[in-house]
Structure 1
């Protein structure tokens, strides 16, 4: 949920002054060899590189994107396309400076990591979801600053619960977590679970909607929350906890089981000469010999042999043998 930030007048003036002074003599370099403030630094040991390239977290976000589509389906009556961006690391103050002052910010506790996370939703996106959920069209709604209505609060609750469940499912590839909602805020400055100078990992997602601009939402983890599993987040090897997407498999299986198939009973294939065919008239009969039963065909493939009979006053065929493949 980033936005373009314009430089202030003071910042512009500072840049101009720096360009004007670039030809001036460089100041003398101070001798700090005896300073007590000097400390050793090891490259790769800083917080920004702690989690490497976030490979595991990117995999979690991609799976979460697929699972989250089903959360928005009942409200939008379509299954939107959701894409994930690579995780970013910023201080919370830097993140707050790039977003609006009116947002839905749902804070939850991850007990297994002994930390918290935050789900950030844009108010315009919430208005679109609310309007579509109660029968309206998916259309751009004028964004208002202030507070959410009770109806929108209910939609926020439904979305937060659904996305938290999808996030728990997505994390199963790495470890099992349980997400418990704790509080909700509407202003980034009022968030208390993280300090302004603390580093946070920002996972942004874009929701493609028809006829309107793409919407977005963020999942934010404090860096301290993910530190205990830094080695796992750097790993490119899947763990033993990988579970299949059962909901997807169940829907696929159900869809396959509902495919209509054409079944036909072939009583016989008598032959007739052209002479007899020309002289055929009403009430003429063809002799037909049924030896070991009639063939039962599925999509033109013989799969059973059966006997012709009657059941409950209707013609029926009793299956007597399955044709081996």
Structure 2
């Protein structure tokens, strides 16, 4: 990606569409087998992928030190073993992302050459990678993959917010997908692919792979055809709601005094006894269990009253 290429470079990764099921197609597999994609058309997930692609620019532009273009390709549903067979045998970073709440895990997959290019840039190089890739990542390269996982977790969470509140926690990177626990080759996976290109350079691709089983609880939202910002509230409805809220009644009380007596005096009290009290200059005025402010005891129009001398700001927690 770092080295410039032809301006006519294709920016779509070729797939063998004859074997990979298209988006929204219920792949039957063998006769009597379970449906690979129980959702149908995944309109919402495609929309969320487009949202995430826009957030990827903020992740990779600082790492690559140049402006990049990011886009989401059409998603595909296929078995994990087929996805693994589709990828080359070259060095690849397989980074599990724990999806919380719950313990399901997605996968972030990056080409090893791309990781090594970013590592070289991180240490001040030009973004060169070895012509012959190693068989595994160095500790520094593993740290780079973990760093990228942490950086994409935030825009990924933001992209998913319209549908579900997921947090994504990157774990340990693997070079052999067989070492990833709780993931079987026959598991159905939703593959979302994102292109990243700078200038005329050949694009690289980052894949996010979700287990179908982890997204089943969100099936109604995933298949919705309309996803967008909430509509603005109707002004008339908002005015009526405000007017109704302004008419809610709250009890107001004031504590004039809270005398303290010994138990012996309390036991000897009888009708006619006098308990002395002292009223301070400012008495508390309460609304429910909250302190509204303080005031001075007096009269108004022949009735006992309290003149407020200070008001407590509930939103800021200090006296005005």
TM-score grouping bracket, smaller chain normalisation? 0.5 to 0.7
Residue of 130, 134, 138 corresponding to 1:145: 134
Query: As a proportion of its length, which structure holds more helix?
Result: 1
Q: Secondary structure at the match of 1:213?
A: coil
Residue of 204, 207, 213 corresponding to 1:215: 204
Match of 2:154 in 1: 165
Partners of 2:69 and 2:138 lie apart in 1 by 27
Residue of 52, 55, 62 corresponding to 2:50: 62
TM-score by length of 1: 0.57
Partners of 1:135 and 1:61 lie apart in 2 by 32
Pick closer, same or farther for the CA change 1:143–1:52 going to 2, 3 Å. Answer: farther
Structure 2 residue runs of 5 or longer lacking an equivalent are 1-11, 17-30, 232-320
Q: Per-residue CA shift, 1:52-74, capped at 9, x if unaligned?
A: 22111111111111101111122
Residue of 88, 91, 95 corresponding to 2:83: 95
Partners of 2:218 and 2:80 lie apart in 1 by 21
Q: Per-residue CA shift, 1:87-146, capped at 9, x if unaligned?
A: 111111101111134311111211235411010111011011112222222456524131
- 2:106 aligned with 1:117: yes
Pick closer, same or farther for the CA change 1:185–1:113 going to 2, 3 Å. Answer: same
Q: What stretches of structure 1 move > 6 A for 4+ residues in a row?
A: 1-5, 239-242
Match of 2:250 in 1: none
Q: Secondary structure at the match of 2:107?
A: strand
Residue of 224, 228, 231 corresponding to 2:213: 224
Match of 1:180 in 2: 169
Pick closer, same or farther for the CA change 1:3–1:58 going to 2, 3 Å. Answer: closer
Counterparts of residues 182-197 of structure 1 (less than 5 Å): 182-197=171-186
Partners of 2:228 and 2:50 lie apart in 1 by 17
Partners of 1:2 and 1:70 lie apart in 2 by 22
Partners of 2:113 and 2:219 lie apart in 1 by 35
Shift of 1:82: 1.0
Shift of 1:220: 0.5
Retained in 1: the 8 A contact 2:92–2:111?
yes
Q: Secondary structure at the match of 1:83?
A: strand
TM-score by length of 2: 0.58
Shift of 1:47: 3.7
Structure 1 residue runs of 5 or longer lacking an equivalent are 6-37, 243-325
Retained in 2: the 8 A contact 1:209–1:215?
no
Match of 1:236 in 2: 225
* RMSD after superposition: 2.7
